[in-house]
Amino acid sequence: MDRILVMDFGGQYNQLIARRVRSLHVYAEVRPYSRITPQEIRDAGYRGIIFTGGPNSVYDPASPHCSPEVLRLGIPVLGICYGHQLMAYTEGGTISPAESGSEYGRTELFCSGHPLFRDVPETSICFMSHTDCVSVLPEGFAVLGHTDHCACAAMGNDERRLYGVQFHPEVTHTEYGMTVLRNFVFGICSCRADWVMDDFIERSVARYREELRGRKVLLALSGGVDSSVAAVLLHRAIGRNLSCVFVDHGLLRKNEGDYVERTLGHELGVNVIRINAADRFLSRLAGVTEPERKRKIIGEEFIRVFEDEAGKLGHIDDLAQGTIYPDVIESGKGDSAVIKSHHNVGGLPSVMAFKGIVEPLRDLFKDEVREVGRRLGIPDELVMRQPFPGPGLGVRIIGEITKEKLDLLREADAIFREELDRSSVRNECAQYFAVLTDTRSVGVMGDARTYGYTVALRAVRSDDFMTAEWARLPYEVLERASNRITNEVRGISRVVYDITSKPPATVEWE
């Protein structure tokens, strides 16, 4: 199997680069630049290397530099942004601050007819985010593209198969970014497109069978797609040594607990232990209104319940979780700022009774996780289920969480999802749910005045949940949902529709 190495220099799109390459059916893996030697690269037989971006300037003494030998292995290299500058600098070129200051955002790119730009028009839009520029090319390199403010937006040395681009081909804002990556991977590295998710499954199963030999693992099953896929994957690797504790924290959607228990436990044979802990969660959440506090409490309580359960199960070595890549970066474990602490990463209590954490899906994006699930034989109904956050309805109730509010939200949410599921636009929406706001308003029912909660409906389109667009639902769907919710759920007197995209909003309200 042909593989591409993504050498990580600290940029925010590193996993995205790997994911884009994998979408071309060529396996790509991200490794920190400091943790792989030129010898290891050679021995591993990579067909190509991509240097990622990063926030530093190459002249900064603290900036990350790899061994210059990496560029002399005879393996093609594509440097992106910082990686492009690092390549130029290492090869004897000069980097200077751009004359016009930083260049950020969508920018016109003028490129040559070089094979790296095959099928890319002479003028196209690329995404730039940099302050420094390559001002003097290293020997043997030629300029392959420029922008109005950057004379060397792309460079290359064909003899040594070394290339650099100042822009980010991996982000969708770069119109022909995938074409550039495709040209590098197939045209320059001559990779074969023979990687499928089955390889990921096989590698993971073999890896965990080996690493977890003789160990007992407890998996935090939340009922969402991610932890369900992680459960089935690990079950395949270690069978009954995996115990999946499914905490019903009382923050699940209508009928969800029974569905998860039946599908994973009874139908797929995974060892599922369901714990009904709603009271425990509700009493810890009583009176708490601040979103981050709620998340932390739910996260901590989750782990405590697991620890209690682990105690009952006897000796347990590791805790497994369905963390996926967007959770990792949004919790500030990558290089971007903390946006929300996802309970399965950021909210972990510091004192844990487990020896290790097992996160088999940590490098994957949502659509890749679904693909893994499907190939593991998980029914489409579960795999295609929209994602559901670990803290559950807890992040969809604004203000204090009470049993009464949870019951109202569960009913309203079930109605909205049922109406959308019946409509023709269902497949266009990546996620759709109801939120119970803390606002109450006056209504009228029959001749009587009512004073009930306002429910907000949210439906988004998204590929990877890093960005999302609010879905243009047909008025009829919204109308039916609104009528039914206000008629059938006593205590809700108003329904609104959320028309905010991400960014600036997030998908969840808290």
Question: What residues act catalytically?
Answer: 81, 168, 170
Q: Of residues 11, 389, 394, 452, which one binds ligand XMP by CB under 6 A?
A: 389
With a CB cutoff of 8 Å and minimum separation 6, the contacts of 202 are none
With a CB cutoff of 8 Å and minimum separation 6, the contacts of 186 are 24, 193
Q: Of residues 344, 482, 486, 493, which one binds ligand XMP by CB under 6 A?
A: 344
> DSSP letters along 462-501, please?
-SSSSSBEE----HHHHHHHHHHHHHHSTTEEEEEE----
Closer by beta carbon to ligand XMP, 91 or else 330: 330
Candidates 81-89, 151-159, 248-256, 338-346; binding stretch for ligand XMP (CB under 6 A): 338-346
CB of 342 to ligand XMP, least distance (A): 4
String marking each residue 298-337 x if it binds ligand XMP according to CB under 6 A: -----------------------------x--x-------
387 touches ligand XMP by CB under 6 A: yes
Q: Which among 17, 27, 124, 24 is positioned nearest to 80, based on CA atoms?
A: 17
Rounding to the nearest 10 degrees, give the CA dihedral for residues 392, 396, 402, 404.
-100
Closer by beta carbon to ligand XMP, 387 or else 443: 387
CB of 346 to ligand XMP, least distance (A): 8
223 touches ligand XMP by CB under 6 A: no
Cβ pair 168, 81 in contact under 8 A:
yes
Closer by beta carbon to ligand XMP, 33 or else 470: 470
Candidates 31-39, 175-183, 385-393, 449-457; binding stretch for ligand XMP (CB under 6 A): 385-393
Q: Of residues 20, 236, 343, 370, which one binds ligand XMP by CB under 6 A?
A: 343
Closer by beta carbon to ligand XMP, 147 or else 227: 227
Q: Of residues 146, 182, 253, 342, which one binds ligand XMP by CB under 6 A?
A: 342
228 touches ligand XMP by CB under 6 A: no
Cβ pair 48, 184 in contact under 8 A:
yes
Residues 390-429 that bind ligand XMP (CB under 6 A): 390-391
Candidates 53-61, 243-251, 309-317, 341-349; binding stretch for ligand XMP (CB under 6 A): 341-349
Distance CA 432, CA 478 (A): 12
Residue 112 DSSP SS3:
coil
Q: Which among 141, 135, 96, 85 is positioned nearest to 116, based on CA atoms?
A: 141
443 touches ligand XMP by CB under 6 A: no
Closer by beta carbon to ligand XMP, 7 or else 219: 219
91 touches ligand XMP by CB under 6 A: no
* Backbone phi and psi for residue 179, each to the nearest 5 degrees, phi listed first: -65, -40
CB of 389 to ligand XMP, least distance (A): 3
Q: Of residues 46, 195, 465, 470, which one binds ligand XMP by CB under 6 A?
A: 465
Q: Of residues 340, 370, 396, 480, which one binds ligand XMP by CB under 6 A?
A: 340
Q: How many residues bind ligand XMP (CB under 6 A)?
A: 16
467 touches ligand XMP by CB under 6 A: no
Q: Which residues of 186-208 are buried (b: 16+ CB within 10 A; e: fewer)?
A: bbbbebeeebebeebbeebbeeb
Distance CA 216, CA 131 (A): 50
54 touches ligand XMP by CB under 6 A: no
Distance CA 426, CA 10 (A): 38
Distance CA 175, CA 127 (A): 9
Candidates 147-155, 283-291, 353-361, 383-391; binding stretch for ligand XMP (CB under 6 A): 383-391
Positive or negative CA dihedral for 112, 113, 116, 119? Answer: positive
Distance CA 292, CA 283 (A): 17
Cβ atoms within 10 A of the Cβ of 214, count?
7
CB of 502 to ligand XMP, least distance (A): 5
Cβ pair 307, 259 in contact under 8 A:
no
Closer by beta carbon to ligand XMP, 33 or else 281: 281
Distance CA 399, CA 319 (A): 31
Closer by beta carbon to ligand XMP, 85 or else 431: 431
Q: Show the tokens assigned to 402.
A: 């009470």
Q: Which among 367, 360, 354 is positioned nearest to 236, based on CA atoms?
A: 360
373 touches ligand XMP by CB under 6 A: no
Distance CA 112, CA 180 (A): 12
What letter represents residue 418's amino acid?
A: E
90 forms beta bridges with: none
CB of 201 to ligand XMP, least distance (A): 21
Closer by beta carbon to ligand XMP, 9 or else 365: 365
CB of 191 to ligand XMP, least distance (A): 32
Closer by beta carbon to ligand XMP, 349 or else 387: 387
431 touches ligand XMP by CB under 6 A: yes
Candidates 60-68, 165-173, 389-397, 470-478; binding stretch for ligand XMP (CB under 6 A): 389-397
Distance CA 419, CA 413 (A): 10
Q: Show the tokens assigned to 39.
A: 């010898």
Candidates 74-82, 276-284, 387-395, 400-408; binding stretch for ligand XMP (CB under 6 A): 387-395
Q: Show the tokens assigned to 379.
A: 């029914």
CB of 90 to ligand XMP, least distance (A): 38
Cβ pair 75, 48 in contact under 8 A:
yes
Binding site for ligand XMP (CB under 6 A): 327, 330, 340, 342-344, 387, 389-391, 431, 465, 502, 506-508
